[in-house]
Amino acid sequence: MNLKYFGTDGVRGRVGEHPITADFMMKLGRAAGVVLANGGKRAVVIGKDTRISGYMFESALEAGLAAAGANVLLLGPMPTPAVAYLTRTLYACAGIVISASHNPFQDNGIKFFSAEGEKLSPETEQAIEQELDKPFLTVDSADMGKAQRVDDAAGRYIEFCKGTMPFGIMLGGMRIALDCANGATYKVAPLVFRELGARVHLIGNEPDGLNINHQCGSTHPAVMQEKVISCGADLGIALDGDGDRVIMADRHGEVLDGDELLYIIATARQREGSLDGGVVGTVMSNFGLELALKERNIPFLRTTVGDRHIHRALTEKGWKLGGEASGHLLSLDRTSTGDGIVSALLVLEIMVRSGKSLSELKQGMQKFPQTMINVPVSAAGQQRLSGSEKIRQIVTDIEAELDGRGRVILRPSGTEPLIRVTLEGDDQNQVERLAKHLADTVREELMG
């Protein structure tokens, strides 16, 4: 389904450049109100991260929704998964998040949740886009929507997060280096871990509207690693700007990405008899995760990149656990969407129950060396990728050389004019050599 505005995860781009403008957001708010509220008075929940542009877009969306006759519940700065949770528990008809996730402050975007706290279907996104093409009409004054602040939103979400931990499991003085990325979790995350008994050493908890994700958070784990060592922490936790991703570090400062955290959760659940099926990853999940799960007879399924595809696969299979190397993990027995805090608590629960450290728990999975090269191409070049016989032949030759001990992934980026060339294998030098050769070929074939 070809959509004009919606990408891999909502509508995203540079602030001030179409469609990330105030006038478009007002139109988007009205279109969403027509489609999602369907002329009724059930409220739409709006949350945002800490970007300075969030103020402008919050007001624009509120105006558009009110023009469509939808009521609005304003949460203020709140993690993406909190918006999903509060959409359900406040019985709203939809949730909207103003965030560009792990991107810098110059970017922003809009993500939507259904009344069930799940990402919208492509069909619903298409209906919103069709409504965008219609004239901007305002309902009668007597039918306009109202807006109000939800003053206890943070407290509701903090209690939800703590409630995902089984009764009696406490963090009992565990020392945690916590990086909130100067983003949406800067208030709630420290309280969650402290109220469960942890001693928290904070990083990235002073947002100013411009420093979200800047040299901090899950995309810059070095800050967390250094904090773990300097304060003698038992582990580190790094969230991203909107709080739906988590990366962790062991007591030695060694980073564990989403694949390694998935392995820890999956094998612990297998031992407890609570795995309920297998694990869903993506085409970008490390080959080492696939092999490690296979050795333990845990089924593993790959989807295209994006949490909505993981969610769909989990639902279809009746499984509960999936995620991406980026740290976007889904545990559908705990919550409806990726949640960095809840995912971290899952791992901490395993540590408490087992009495083992992170470095001990990750033993058994060996990540394969991976090299990714981003090749800039035009939109037309992206479209020509699948039709290139020369590229297809080189991929075949590389796969033959890897001989079952590695993978080749070629995919157009969903958010940038790039082809992502990724290779995995058990020999780092071989992987780098082959990745460069393939990237050079893609550049020659598709840049013209």
* Per-residue pLDDT tens digits for 269-318: 999 999 989 999 999 999 999 999 999 999 999 999 888 899 999 999 99
Question: What average pLDDT does this structure show over 414-432?
Answer: 89
Q: Which of 53, 59, 99, 101 is an active site residue?
A: 101
Question: What average pLDDT does this structure show over 383-405?
Answer: 92
d(CA 321, CA 331): 5
Which CA distances in Å does 280 have to 290, 309, 347, 409? 10, 9, 18, 17
CA-nearest of 10, 89, 90 to 57 is 10
Does domain 11-151 match CATH 3.40.120.10?
yes
Q: Is the pLDDT of residue 416 over 80?
A: no
CA-nearest of 53, 67, 42, 129 to 98 is 53
CATH domain 370-446 topology: TATA-Binding Protein (3.30.310)
Report the percent of the chain where pLDDT is more than 90.
Answer: 89
3-class DSSP state for residue 415?
Answer: coil
What pLDDT score does 256 carry? 98
Question: What average pLDDT does this structure show over 96-120?
Answer: 96
- Per-residue pLDDT of 140-194, as tens digits, reads 999 999 999 999 999 999 999 999 999 999 999 899 999 999 999 999 999 999 9
- The full set of domain ranges for the chain reads 11-151, 157-254, 256-342+353-361, 370-446
Distance of CA 75 to the CA centre of its chain: 20
CA-nearest of 157, 154, 166 to 348 is 166
What pLDDT score does 448 carry? 60
CATH domain 157-254 topology: Alpha-D-Glucose-1,6-Bisphosphate; Chain A, domain 3 (3.40.120)
What global pTM score does this model have? 0.92
d(CA 310, CA 282): 7
The question of whether 99 is a catalytic residue gets the answer: no
Cβ-based burial of 163 (10 A; exposed 0-12, middle 13-18, buried ≥19): exposed
Q: Do domains 11-151 and 157-254 have the same CATH topology?
A: yes
d(CA 79, CA 76): 10
What residue spans of 79-213 are helical by DSSP H? 80-89, 122-132, 153-163, 188-195
- Per-residue pLDDT of 230-249, as tens digits, reads 999 999 999 999 999 999 99
What pLDDT score does 404 carry? 85
Considering the domain 256-342+353-361, what is its CATH architecture? 3-Layer(aba) Sandwich (3.40)
Q: What number of residues does the chain have?
A: 448
- Beta strand ranges found along 234-354 (DSSP E): 235-239, 246-249, 255-256, 279-282, 300-303, 321-323, 329-331
